[in-house]
Amino acid sequence: MNKTILTPLHTAENWWFGRRQPLLLEMVRIREGRRLLGIDDLDLEVIGIRPHAITFQITETRKLTVFRTRPTHARRIRHFWDEFCELEKFIYKHRSRSLVETARAMLEDWKRRGKPLVEMPVIAGGAVTIVYPDPTPEIDTVDGFIRRAGVDEDLATIRVGAGTVGFTTQAASALELVASATLDQYQRLARLGMTFDTSIVAPDIVASVIYSLWFASESNGMGGDNDDNSRTHCVAFAPANDDDLEAADYGQVGDTSFGTTVQQVDMSIEYQNITLDANGIDQIVTDGISGFAARHGWDFNNSETGLTWGANQSQTISYAMAETGGIPDTINDPKLEMEHFPPESPSEPLPEYGQLRTAIGDPSVYGATIHRS
């Protein structure tokens, strides 16, 4: 019988394979993974993969372990490293999701602390986490509107003026631009501001974020609902306090758009989702509180394109806030949906040992001995 002598390299490889058993076992469930690892398409359940061995479940009480004379699986992963990483990303993103004990424990802990949270772990350590602002009375986070009102100014001026109020107890808050009685001037401009406790994802790396607001109602007094400026922009938000809004927070909204909704004319009573770009993902604070604001396109772009000004008319979109109540209490609330992965994903490379590479299909990798149990 052929024997394999363990070296420090083999020890490192075994450690690497041990850490990634869930991922490797998921890989062999699909054809591309079996091909990459050099495993025949056998109608047997694979229950273990090591650098030089693979174990199958034959019956409920019997296993079959096939030992290679060389660390075949390690060599193939090393040689096809780019393909391995691509397949790993695919599995993290698309394979079926299942609860694991650690995530369940985290969820129960957050429930005990009164945090509204939905946690949906995925295979091999990835997860999708949804977080919401606190309703009144706010404890850690907040949502509501900040606005400048009671003025008579053109758009350029009302945008950069000082805020006059911040409000956090409304069941719905509106993005609004309201005309005054003076031609081409405005009496009120409102923005939405909210914070989310995103510390639940630490120490993971956030890969994607969807920011969602529940459309509640609208007004189209200036006829702009079918213009691009009617889209809602998601931007950064840095309020003075994470759990409250004040008038000065009106000036703490960002000037970089992380993404937009559809036009107002295309909105219906449902979540309006914005998939954040790379700048928006970078706004997530994985060990603390993350702030986001929403702005009308007219406000964001400093443009009246699409509006037909009319005295005391308003262009408004109202979104539900965390104060809506309902069962569950997070129904229709603003939310962040974050897809995140452990910091070691994609995996670090196997320990190097020279330039030895084994090509797919090379028959020399298939020398094997068999152990039955």
Structure confidence by residue, pLDDT tens digits, 129-145? 889 999 988 889 999 99
Compute the residue count for the chain: 373
Beta bridge mates, 172: 320
**Rounded to whole angstroms, how far apart are CA atoms 274 and 272?**
7
What is the phi/psi pair of residue 258, to 5°? -90, -5
Q: How far is CA 35 from CA 30, 77, 87, 105, in A?
A: 9, 11, 12, 36
Structure confidence by residue, pLDDT tens digits, 347-361? 445 444 333 233 333
**Rounded to whole angstroms, how far apart are CA atoms 187 and 155?**
10
**Rounded to whole angstroms, how far apart are CA atoms 172 and 159?**
22
How much is the pLDDT for 22? 82
How much is the pLDDT for 69? 65
The two three-digit tokens of residue 224, written as one number: 């702009």
Please give the chain's pLDDT, 373 residues, in tens.
344 333 444 445 677 887 788 888 888 877 778 888 877 656 778 888 888 888 888 887 788 787 776 788 888 888 888 888 887 777 765 543 433 444 445 455 555 555 444 444 443 446 788 899 999 888 899 999 999 999 999 999 999 999 999 999 999 999 999 999 999 999 999 999 999 999 888 877 888 899 999 999 999 999 999 999 999 999 999 999 999 999 999 999 999 999 999 999 999 999 999 999 989 999 999 889 999 999 999 999 999 999 999 999 999 999 999 988 765 678 899 999 998 877 654 444 544 433 323 333 333 333 334 344 4
**Residue owning tokens 């990459």:** 36
Spatial contact of 216 and 247, defined as CB atoms under 8 Å apart: no
Beta bridge mates, 217: 318
Q: Pick the closest to residue 201 from 61, 329, 74, 103 (CA basis).
A: 103
Structure confidence by residue, pLDDT tens digits, 74-123? 888 888 888 888 877 777 655 434 334 444 454 555 555 554 444 444 43
Give the predicted TM-score (pTM) of the model.
0.63
CB neighbours (10 Å) of residue 313? 17
Residue 351: Cβ-neighbour burial (10 angstroms; 0-12, 13-18, 19+): middle
3-state SS of the chain? CCCCCCCHHHHHHHHHHHHCHHHHHHHCCCHHHHHHHCCCCCCCEEEEEECCEEEEECCCCCEEEEEECCCHHHHHHHHCHHHHHHHHHHHHHHCCECCCHHHHHHHHHHHHCCCCEEEEEEHHHCEEEEECCCCCCCCCCCEEEEEEEEEEECHHHHHHCCCCEEECCCCEEEEEEEECCCCCCEEEEEEEEEEEECHHHCCCEEEEEEEEEEEEEEEECCCCCCCHHHCEEEEEECCCECCECCHHHHHCECCCCCEECCCHHHCCCCEEEEECCHHHHHCCCCCCEEEEEEEEHHHHHCCCCCCCCCCCCEEEEEEECHHHCCCCCCCCCCEEEEEEECCCCCCCCCCCECECCCCCCCHHHHCEEEEEC
